Amino acid sequence: MSQETRLVPAQVTGALTDGETSTLVPVAVDEVSTKIVAAIDLIASLIPDLRTPHPQTEKKVRGARTVPREAVLAIIAMVEFSDMMRSTHLFDPEHAREVVELDDGYRLLDERLERLRRQVRYTVEARWAEVASTAMNAYMMAKRYSKQRRYADLAPHVATIGRHLDRSNGSTAKRKKQQTQKDPDPE
């Protein structure tokens, strides 16, 4: 089987090599995946103070979700207003403002990455559905032909595919229903 290729804008692949062309170039699918992963790693390297979830801090991080943004903004204003509160050095309002501003940008990035993740997953599943549909059409046709003497050589293939599909004795739902009727749950 030949390796699948796609036409990919060179500017996308050139982004990793500072290329500025906009022509289409053939690229192997696994090469595209490799370049996309490299681009994601490049994006990750641009995010200051990017952190990886850790079991020792995840409870604290999860708990902080309950603190409303408005409360933090009010605390920033309070500390900036009060010389006494600033002198305690308990809270750095400048750092807090920076985090609040970054939070807005990161939320947008997070939403876009989530949308991309859903699109990638759906693309894989939709393409699989296309292949599965045409494969099942070919299987059903072969199943019909294999009953004819001149196409008897298809029968072993049909039997193997039937085992893979687990469709040799009717639908799975019927078998499960029959099995539960024979063996009622002891509880």
Q: What is the pLDDT of residues 136-147, one digit of tens each?
A: 999 999 999 999
Per-residue pLDDT reduced to its tens digit, 17-49: 555 555 555 557 788 889 999 999 999 999 888
pLDDT of residue 24: 56
Q: How many CB atoms lie within 10 A of CB 79?
A: 20
Q: Which domain holds residue 110?
A: 66-143
Does residue 6 carry a pLDDT above 50? Answer: no
Instruction: Give the DSSP letter of residue 90.
Output: S
Asked, for residue 184, whether it belongs to a domain, the answer is: no
15 close to 32: Cβ distance less than 8 angstroms? no
Residue 51 maps to a domain: no
Do 150 and 161 fall within a single domain?
yes
The structure's pTM equals: 0.58
Same domain, 103 and 168: no
Q: Is the residue at 86 inside a domain? A: yes
For 6, phi then psi, to 5°, come to -135, 155
Query: How many Å apart are CA 8 and CA 28, to the nearest integer?
Result: 9
| Number of domains within the chain | 3
Q: Considering the domain boundaries, does residue 156 fall inside one?
A: yes
Q: In the numeric block, which tokens belong to residue 173?
A: 């739902």
Residue 103 lies in a domain: yes
88 and 122 in a single domain? The answer is yes
Please state, in angstroms and rounded to a whole number, the distance separating the CA atoms of residues 64 and 19: 43
Is 12 a residue whose pLDDT tops 80? no
